[in-house]
Amino acid sequence: MSSTTTLSHIPNLPKLPVLGHTLDMLRDSYGLHQRSAKAFGPVY
């Protein structure tokens, strides 16, 4: 079983390996937070 199959139930926004959301966070942290909250709901 591949790792993408075992993690497919976890919602996410597709990003580059290693960098992840780093570039989005540096460019627009507030916007990233708003988009994530809209897509996945509040996390805290």
Check: CB of residue 25 under 8 Å from CB of residue 35.
Answer: no
Pick 2 or 44 by higher pLDDT: 44
Q: Helix, strand or coil for residue 11? A: coil
Place of tokens 């708003």: 34
pTM above 0.85, yes or no: no
Q: Which pLDDT does position 17 carry in this prediction? A: 72
pLDDT for 4 beyond 80: no
Check: CB of residue 21 under 8 Å from CB of residue 32.
Answer: yes
Domain boundaries, the chain: 13-44
